[in-house]
Chains A and B, each alone.
Chain A
């Protein structure tokens, strides 16, 4: 991971999502060529949304809203569609919601990071920790992924590199015990933020979800500590992402989504479905390999990056 010298050098969503716009830019080109706002233009719009992994129910909903807007505003020009779509997407994503991570008024704030295998939980924790350290907070890592071979080693590597404290246990140890030790250490050492890494688990595995609930119960034993349960979601995930969000929310009350690997390739349209159907806000997005590439999610920027209505003027 590279580190930029200045926070102001943070990358912008639009620059990094260039590839994901290509589907839409082809779509914009075809709309320009068509000119008239006919059935085929609407089919094009639907297909483009589906290709971005938005999913059928949410695509239909968006389509209906854009249609209504187009009718109300007497829009007859196909070229006007992208701008309408952009603002409807921003609407679905409740632009204006506060997406900052919550902190305890006193004592340590525990942020527990959960998700299926391979979505980038450990890397997200490293980036999040680096941000916090940069902001002058005292951070403690809890390596509660005791299942994956060498997962704790991966976290120790980051702790060493960023000069942070870490609580870990043997492979195969009880993750609840790690969480307990971490919270106890955090309270006694006056730590500001405890980042709890958990093992990746498929949301369909009941016993593993039970294990996760137990970890959460243990964190909750320190009054006021549990502030965020962050579900990490790979931006290349398709409709299964909705099932992941639903099941994790049901089990452990997810408070926010971290959308990773949005750098250049994926579309992450599934977060539209997640916000629309479950009301779980996206809080952070991962845009690349370096520590600075984890940024607060901005719905308006996301909509612009996804559709790029103003791109053609650039």
Chain B
């Protein structure tokens, strides 16, 4: 997410490091490069202008010129500005007091409304809400069918009827009341903001259901137009926030940086993948850190807490201490790791990761192979790898569709892990001091 912008900043800051003093020419050069980086990231021209002016003003002022480490000072200014622009608290829905509360989604064609509807419904159900999805996109062929399929996948009921969008919206809310559902997520047809008829239809839907939350769904790859789109939709709907989609590509986040600044609308959620669980609340401060290459450890911890089974972790720990860590535990751990999502995403959240590693293609298939190899062993073999002789190796390789060399590699890797655990549990107390994570600011 936003890697390109963060790479650019990294390059700019690197040049600043170690500089004793910054001349006005230095500041100008930095300002030019930051301007370019932001424009390439599709940040709105007006926001870029303000950003660069602010940076120049503060950088030639005494806070930088008097500083002994002016480079650091510039980074701090950029960070402050980014946080100010992304601004505000972690995204969440406003909700309402009456049940059902209504969340209405709107946006251009192809921004991802239908997928977001299903993802949001799933997210809310996990929070203990009882959601009804209402499909009011009667425009695009098979849009209702698409939501039905996704709803089924998310385990959320879907309502629609072949009348007209305003009637569907109204009937959907009634249906939610009848079924005792406490949140309605209303999917609407994609429309372009200059289509007066369709915008009027949106206004009539708004009057029919009085949404507690009206969210604009916006493709993160949108260019300079993002701001116009947000402003136009806000003029029709009382927009309460924005959902940014397709953030799992190499979108550079210009839309994210511009919308809050220009329209004041918070970014509430972010869609980060094709699966239904690739959806998260938006944290502006964490995003700023990420753009500046400082990682996003908080999100990683939260994901870990969600993915890991506490009891199982305790059992594994116990086993490790007793030196009884087996291939079965190894497999369990690996599977839990997988629940964190693609390794690429995890690396992106770690601070100080070099660009090469962040951009490296990681072969997720390798994990699958290891899994297949372990699954092709008998329970006895998994508990005691010493049993695995030549002919067993050949059998395991055949069973998992790999080669004996690959089986050997896994066994060797596992032995290494076992060895490491023994050392940790025996003599681990000698070494003191915190683990230093490079690139992490001292807190």
Q: Which residues does A use to contact B, with CB under 8 Å? A: 19, 47, 50-53, 55-56, 116-120, 147-151, 153-154, 157-158, 171, 202-206, 234, 236-241, 243-244, 261, 263-267, 269-270
Q: Is B251 an interface residue (CB 8 A)?
A: yes
Across-interface contacts of A151 in B (CB, < 8 A): 142, 146
Residue B296, interface by CB 8 Å: no
> Residue-by-residue, is B106-121 near A (CB-CB < 8 Å gives 1, otherwise 0)?
0011111000000000
Tell me if B313 counts as interface (CB < 8 A to partner A): no
Instruction: Verify B361–A206 contact, CB threshold 8 A.
Output: yes
User: Complex formed: what's the CA distance from A148 to B274 in Å?
Assistant: 9
Complex-state Cα separation, A241 to B220, whole angstroms: 12
Known: A119-B110, A243-B250. A237 touches B223 (CB 8 A): yes
Which of A55, A56, A171, A202 gathers the greatest number of chain B CB atoms within 10 Å?
A202
User: With contacts A244-B221, A261-B109 known, what are 13 further pairs, Cβ within 8 A?
Assistant: A47-B45, A118-B246, A149-B145, A150-B143, A150-B149, A151-B142, A154-B146, A234-B110, A237-B219, A239-B42, A240-B221, A261-B192, A263-B192
Interface: B240 (CB within 8 A): no
Tell me the minimal C-beta distance from B278 to chain A in angstroms.
12
CB distance A154 to B246 under 8 Å?
no
B193, CB-defined interface residue at 8 Å: yes
- Determine chain A's interface SS by DSSP, over half rule: loop
B249 x A149 contact (CB < 8 A): no
Measured CB to CB, the nearest residue on chain A to B362 is A206
- At the interface, yes or no: B36 with Cβ under 8 Å from chain A? yes
**Is B141 at the interface (CB under 8 A from chain A)?**
yes
Q: Write the nearest CB–CB distance from A23 to chain B, whole angstroms.
A: 9
Min CB distance B392 to A, Å, is: 32
Query: In the complex the two chains form, what is the Cα distance from A88 to B36 in whole Å?
Result: 23
* B194 & A149 in contact (Cβ 8 Å cutoff): no
Pick the 5 closest A-B CB pairs, nearest first.
A238-B223, A118-B110, A238-B42, A149-B149, A157-B141
A148 to B193, CA, bound (A): 26
Give, as a whole number of angstroms, the nearest-CB distance from A19 to chain B: 6
Query: With A149-B149, A236-B229, A239-B223 as given contacts, are A120 and B109 in contact (CB-CB < 8 Å)?
Result: yes
Residues of B close to A263: CB separation below 8 A: 192
Contacting residues, chain B, for A154 (C-beta < 8 A): 140-143, 146
Determine how close the nearest CB of chain A comes to the CB of B37; give it in whole angstroms: 10
Measured in the bound complex, the distance between the Cα atoms of B42 and A95 in whole Å is 28
A116 touches B221 (CB 8 A): yes
Known contacts: A50-B45, A153-B145. The answer to whether A202 contacts B246 by CB under 8 A is yes
Question: Could you say which residues of chain B place their CB within 8 Å of the CB of A149?
Answer: 145-146, 149-150, 153
Does B349 reach chain A (CB closer than 8 Å)?
Answer: no
- The answer to whether A118 and B219 touch (CB under 8 A), given A240-B250, A240-B252, is yes
A203 CA to B148 CA in the complex, in Å? 28
Which of A157, A261, A266 has the most chain B CB within a 10 Å cutoff?
A: A266
The answer to whether A53 and B225 have CB atoms under 8 Å apart is yes
**Could you tell me the distance between the alpha carbons of A239 and B249 in the complex, rounded to whole angstroms?**
13
Q: Closest CB of chain B to A140's CB: distance in Å?
A: 19
User: Are A150's CB and B142's CB within 8 A?
Assistant: yes
CA distance A261 to B229 in the complex (A): 13
Tell me if B39 counts as interface (CB < 8 A to partner A): yes
Identify A120's interface contact among B39, B110, B193, B222, CB under 8 A.
B110
| Min C-beta distance of B18 to chain A, whole Å | 28
- B243-281 to A contact mask, C-beta < 8 Å, 1/0: 001101111101100000000000000000010000000
